């Protein structure tokens, strides 16, 4: 198992370096002068050139890249153009808020999605199966902003049950969590149903049922574990997307997360802040995929012994 973990980690390192390099090169191609943004549009050309020299923007791209990687190794992402504060201090609390929301959403979506997918498999061809299929299609096709506005109107405006914005208490988590998890819940439900139906058609499952083993034991202990590999893949991908794609949900519910910060930074053309946020998104996605690979080895011993 240690060898398998080591190989997965080594594979993730060049991917992470590629993400960092692509983010750096992308901002080299963006039109506009960061130095001019830093000092303001009314500053003199001499002031702009001085800032360009201080930021190292007057050096060749290769030198800038080496300096950037050196600073990144020290955890230095630069300073925000708008607030003049270190980017790491701007990102840390916002990422923590997004991480909490995304974690709550993916846990809720995984538990409920696997349960509903299993129920649809056990009740295959019945009214329950058809109902869950229709609901999952509805959840996949529903726009996030529309669901968020609908929840706000019902639970905040009409019924006064939940707060409409902020993150001060657990009650503030409920609507954003459900809104963010709706698509993933529906997708996991369909994936669980599809994978479990395929496993239930295997010979060893039919043999166990023919020997009189209880259906609940066969489904819950044998079939479900073997059907979890594609489900784990979907869960990992959806969690990665949530960390980087909760922008709409955070905007609807005024959630002080990384997505809202990124939208603000883009509007202000705060390049260091945008660059830092994208790096954090990319690193989070690579880390989530690494954890999924490691979980493969736990669920299926053939993978880690291959």
**Residue pLDDT tens, the chain, 306 long:** 778 778 888 888 888 899 889 888 887 777 666 777 777 777 777 877 887 777 777 788 888 889 889 988 888 888 887 788 899 999 999 999 999 999 999 999 999 999 999 999 888 889 999 999 899 999 999 898 899 999 999 999 999 899 988 888 889 999 999 999 999 999 999 999 999 999 888 888 888 888 888 877 888 777 888 888 889 989 998 998 888 768 889 989 999 999 889 888 887 778 888 889 989 988 888 888 888 888 887 777 766 666
Cβ-based neighbour number of residue 14 at 10 Å: 9
pLDDT of residue 305: 62
Residue in this structure with the two tokens 């050139």, named with its chain if needed:
49
What residue segments make up the domains of the chain, in order of their start? 2-73, 94-298
pLDDT of residue 176: 94
pLDDT of residue 192: 94
pLDDT of residue 155: 94
pLDDT of residue 218: 82
pLDDT of residue 25: 86
Q: How far apart are CA 204 and CA 201, in angstroms?
A: 9
Question: Both tokens of residue 227?
Answer: 């059907």
* b (16+ CB within 10 A) / e for 285-306: bbebbbebbebbbeebeeebee
pLDDT of residue 114: 94
27-30: long-range pairs with CB below 8 Å, 24+: 27/271, 27/274, 27/275, 28/61, 28/64, 30/271
Q: How far apart are CA 218 and CA 96, in angstroms?
A: 40
pLDDT of residue 269: 75
Fold of 94-298: MetI-like fold (1.10.3720)
pTM of this structure: 0.86
């Amino acid at each position: 198992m240690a060898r398998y973990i080591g190989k997965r980690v080594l594979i993730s390192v060049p991917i992470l370096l590629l993400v960092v390099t692509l983010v750096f090169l992308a901002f080299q191609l963006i039109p506009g002068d960061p130095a001019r943004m830093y000092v303001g549009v009314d500053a003199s050309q001499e002031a702009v050139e001085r800032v360009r020299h201080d930021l190292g923007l007057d050096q060749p791209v290769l030198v800038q890249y080496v300096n950037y990687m050196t600073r990144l190794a020290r955890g230095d992402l630069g300073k925000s153009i708008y607030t003049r504060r270190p980017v790491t201090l701007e990102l840390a609390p916002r990422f923590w808020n997004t991480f909490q929301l995304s974690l709550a959403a993916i846990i809720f979506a995984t538990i409920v999605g696997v349960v509903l997918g299993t129920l649809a498999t056990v009740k295959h061809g019945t009214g329950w199966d058809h109902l869950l299929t229709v609901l999952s299609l509805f959840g996949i096709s529903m726009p996030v902003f529309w669901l968020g506005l609908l929840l706000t109107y019902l639970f905040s405006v009409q019924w006064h049950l939940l707060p409409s914005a902020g993150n001060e208490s657990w009650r503030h988590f409920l609507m954003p969590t459900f809104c963010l998890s709706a698509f993933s819940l529906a997708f996991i439900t369909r994936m669980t149903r599809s994978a479990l139906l395929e496993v239930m058609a295997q010979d060893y499952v039919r043999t166990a049922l023919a020997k009189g083993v209880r259906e609940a034991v066969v489904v819950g202990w044998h079939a479900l574990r073997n059907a979890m590999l594609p489900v784990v893949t979907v869960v990992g991908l959806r969690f990665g997307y949530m960390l980087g794609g909760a922008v709409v949900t955070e905007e609807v519910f005024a959630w002080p997360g990384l997505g809202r910060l990124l939208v603000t930074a883009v509007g202000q053309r705060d390049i260091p802040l945008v660059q830092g946020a994208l790096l954090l998104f990319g690193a989070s996605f690579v880390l989530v995929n690494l954890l999924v690979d490691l979980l493969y080895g736990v669920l299926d011993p053939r993978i880690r012994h291959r």
